[in-house]
Structure 1
Amino acid sequence: MSRAAPPSRLFIAALLLAGSAVVLAPATASAADTTVTVNLAQRGKVPTRAGAGFLYGLNQDGSGPADSVLQPLRPMLFRGGGARIAGHGWLGDGYRAGSGYQVRVDSAISQARRVTAAPYNATYHLLVSDVWGADTEQPANTVYPCDNGDCTNWRSFITRLVTDVRASGVRVRYDIWNEPDGTGFWPRGVNSAQYYQMWNTAVTEIRRLDPGAVIVGPSYSGYNHTWLNDWVARTKADGTLPNVLNWHFGNDPAADAADAQAILSARGVAPMPLTIDEYLFSQQQHPGYLAWYLDRLAVSDVSAAAHAIWSDCCVAGTLDSVLWNGQPTGQWWVYRAYAQMTGNVVATTNGNGMAVAATIDPAAGRAVALLGNQNGQTGTTTVVFNGVTNFVVDGRVRVTVQRIPDQSPLSGPVVVSSADVTVTGGTISVPVAVQSGTDAYTVTLGAPLDGGGGGGGPLIIDANSPDFQYGANWGLTTGVPDMYAGTANWSYVGGATATLRFTGTQVALHAVRDMDQGRMTVSVDGGASQTIDNYAPARNASGVVWTSQVLPNGPHTVTIVNTGQRSPASTGTNIALDRADVTQAAVLTVDGNVRGTGLNQFNYSADWGLATGIPDMYAGTANWSYTAGSTATFAFAGTQIALHAVRDIDQQMIAISIDGGAESIVDNYAPSRNASGVVWTSPTLANGNHTLRVRVTGTKNPASSGWNVAIDSVDVR
Structure 2
Amino acid sequence: MPKKAAPRRRPLLFVVLVLIAGLFAVIRPAGPAAAAVDGMTVDMSTYGGTPTYRASGFIYGLSQNGTTPAQSLQSQIKVTELRAGGSQIGCPNGGYVNGAYTARWTTEKAYYARAKALGAHFEMILAGLWGADGVCTVPRWPGNGGSWTEYNAFFDQVVADVKAAGMTGSDVRWDLWNEPNIFFWGATQAQYLEMVKRGTQRIRAALPNAVIEGPSCACNPTDAWFTTYLDYVKANNVVPNILSWHALPGDPAVDAANARTALSTRGLTVSGLDVNEYGAYGAEQQPGPSAWYIARLERGNVDGARANWGMVGQTPSLYDTMGWLVTAGANQPMGQWWVYRRYAEQTGQRTRITPGASDAHDGTVFQNSSTHTTIGVYGATPSAATGSVGVTYANIPSWQQTNSTVHVKVERMPSTNAAVSAPTVVSDARVSVTGNAVTVNLDWTNNLDAYVVTLTA
* CA–CA separation in structure 2 for the residues paired with 1:305 and 1:80: 14
Read off the aligned partner of 1:363 and give its amino acid letter: S
Matches within 5 A, 1:67-86: 67-86=71-90
Q: Deviations over 1:167-209 (max 9, x none)?
A: 11124211001111112x11213xx221122111111111111
* CA–CA separation in structure 2 for the residues paired with 1:186 and 1:32: 47
The Cα of 1:362 is off from its aligned counterpart by: 2.3
Task: Indicate the residue corresponding to 1:193 in structure 2.
Answer: 190
* CA–CA separation in structure 1 for the residues paired with 2:365 and 2:108: 35
TM-score with structure 2 setting the length: 0.85
The Cα of 1:108 is off from its aligned counterpart by: 0.6
Q: Does the 8 Å contact 1:151/1:201 carry over to 2?
A: no
Matches within 5 A, 1:124-143: 124-139=122-137, 142-143=139-140
Task: Indicate the residue corresponding to 1:103 in structure 2.
Answer: 103
Going from structure 1 to structure 2, the CA distance change for 1:139 and 1:310 (only over 3 Å counts) comes to closer
Task: Indicate the residue corresponding to 1:24 in structure 2.
Answer: none
Q: Does the 8 Å contact 2:45/2:395 carry over to 1?
A: yes
* CA–CA separation in structure 1 for the residues paired with 2:136 and 2:442: 50
* CA–CA separation in structure 1 for the residues paired with 2:45 and 2:388: 25
- Does residue 1:61 correspond to 2:65, yes or no? yes
Going from structure 1 to structure 2, the CA distance change for 1:385 and 1:42 (only over 3 Å counts) comes to same
Task: Indicate the residue corresponding to 2:325 in structure 1.
Answer: 322
Task: Indicate the residue corresponding to 2:253 in structure 1.
Answer: 254
Aligned-pair RMSD on alpha carbons? 1.6
Going from structure 1 to structure 2, the CA distance change for 1:312 and 1:420 (only over 3 Å counts) comes to farther
Task: Indicate the residue corresponding to 1:90 in structure 2.
Answer: 96
Matches within 5 A, 1:130-529: 130-139=128-137, 142-170=139-167, 171=169, 172-183=172-183, 185-189=184-188, 192-225=189-222, 226-249=224-247, 250-282=249-281, 283-302=283-302, 304-311=303-310, 316-324=319-327, 325-352=330-357, 353-374=360-381, 375-389=383-397, 390-407=399-416, 408-446=418-456
* CA–CA separation in structure 2 for the residues paired with 1:126 and 1:372: 30
Going from structure 1 to structure 2, the CA distance change for 1:240 and 1:271 (only over 3 Å counts) comes to closer
Unaligned runs of at least 5 residues, structure 2: 1-34
Q: Does the 8 Å contact 1:76/1:122 carry over to 2?
A: yes
The Cα of 1:396 is off from its aligned counterpart by: 1.1
* CA–CA separation in structure 2 for the residues paired with 1:428 and 1:305: 32
Read off the aligned partner of 1:173 and give its amino acid letter: R
* CA–CA separation in structure 2 for the residues paired with 1:127 and 1:317: 18
Identity fraction in percent: 34
Q: Deviations over 1:407-463 (max 9, x none)?
A: 22111111100111111221111111112121100111018xxxxxxxxxxxxxxxx
Q: Does the 8 Å contact 2:221/2:262 carry over to 1?
A: no
Q: Does the 8 Å contact 2:39/2:390 carry over to 1?
A: yes
Aligned with 1:137: secondary structure?
Answer: coil
Q: Does the 8 Å contact 2:414/2:423 carry over to 1?
A: yes
* CA–CA separation in structure 2 for the residues paired with 1:319 and 1:296: 20
* CA–CA separation in structure 1 for the residues paired with 2:371 and 2:79: 20
The Cα of 1:373 is off from its aligned counterpart by: 1.1
* CA–CA separation in structure 1 for the residues paired with 2:429 and 2:135: 56
* CA–CA separation in structure 1 for the residues paired with 2:423 and 2:311: 25
Q: Does the 8 Å contact 1:61/1:107 carry over to 2?
A: yes
Q: Does the 8 Å contact 1:376/1:438 carry over to 2?
A: no
Q: Does the 8 Å contact 1:245/1:274 carry over to 2?
A: yes
Task: Indicate the residue corresponding to 1:530 in structure 2.
Answer: none
Going from structure 1 to structure 2, the CA distance change for 1:137 and 1:430 (only over 3 Å counts) comes to closer
The Cα of 1:139 is off from its aligned counterpart by: 2.9
Read off the aligned partner of 1:56 and give its amino acid letter: Y
Looking at secondary structure, tell me which structure has more helix per residue: 2
Read off the aligned partner of 2:367 and give its amino acid letter: I
Q: Deviations over 1:11-57 (max 9, x none)?
A: xxxxxxxxxxxxxxxxxxxx952221101111121122121001002
- Does residue 1:35 correspond to 2:39, yes or no? yes
Read off the aligned partner of 1:349 and give its amino acid letter: T
Aligned with 1:311: secondary structure?
Answer: coil
The Cα of 1:386 is off from its aligned counterpart by: 1.2
The Cα of 1:354 is off from its aligned counterpart by: 1.4
* CA–CA separation in structure 1 for the residues paired with 2:135 and 2:441: 50
* CA–CA separation in structure 2 for the residues paired with 1:241 and 1:132: 22
Aligned with 2:69: secondary structure?
Answer: coil
Going from structure 1 to structure 2, the CA distance change for 1:332 and 1:169 (only over 3 Å counts) comes to same
* CA–CA separation in structure 2 for the residues paired with 1:49 and 1:174: 21
* CA–CA separation in structure 2 for the residues paired with 1:104 and 1:138: 13
Q: Does the 8 Å contact 2:58/2:83 carry over to 1?
A: yes
Aligned with 2:101: secondary structure?
Answer: helix
- Does residue 1:50 correspond to 2:54, yes or no? yes
The Cα of 1:224 is off from its aligned counterpart by: 4.3
Q: Does the 8 Å contact 2:242/2:270 carry over to 1?
A: no
* CA–CA separation in structure 1 for the residues paired with 2:37 and 2:129: 50
Aligned residues: 404
* CA–CA separation in structure 2 for the residues paired with 1:369 and 1:64: 30
Q: Does the 8 Å contact 1:383/1:432 carry over to 2?
A: yes
The Cα of 1:67 is off from its aligned counterpart by: 2.3
* CA–CA separation in structure 2 for the residues paired with 1:242 and 1:121: 23
Read off the aligned partner of 2:387 and give its amino acid letter: G
TM-score with structure 1 setting the length: 0.55
Aligned with 1:289: secondary structure?
Answer: helix
Read off the aligned partner of 1:78 and give its amino acid letter: L
Q: Deviations over 1:261-281 (max 9, x none)?
A: 111110011243100111010
* CA–CA separation in structure 1 for the residues paired with 2:116 and 2:220: 28
Read off the aligned partner of 2:349 and give its amino acid letter: N
The Cα of 1:231 is off from its aligned counterpart by: 1.0
* CA–CA separation in structure 1 for the residues paired with 2:246 and 2:309: 14
Q: Does the 8 Å contact 1:312/1:321 carry over to 2?
A: no
* CA–CA separation in structure 2 for the residues paired with 1:383 and 1:115: 36
The Cα of 1:357 is off from its aligned counterpart by: 2.0
Matches within 5 A, 1:543-558: none
Aligned with 2:409: secondary structure?
Answer: strand
Which structure is higher in RCO with an 8 Å CA cutoff and minimum separation 6?
A: 2
Read off the aligned partner of 1:330 and give its amino acid letter: G
Q: Does the 8 Å contact 1:48/1:298 carry over to 2?
A: no
* CA–CA separation in structure 2 for the residues paired with 1:367 and 1:239: 45
Q: Does the 8 Å contact 2:411/2:423 carry over to 1?
A: yes
Read off the aligned partner of 2:68 and give its amino acid letter: G
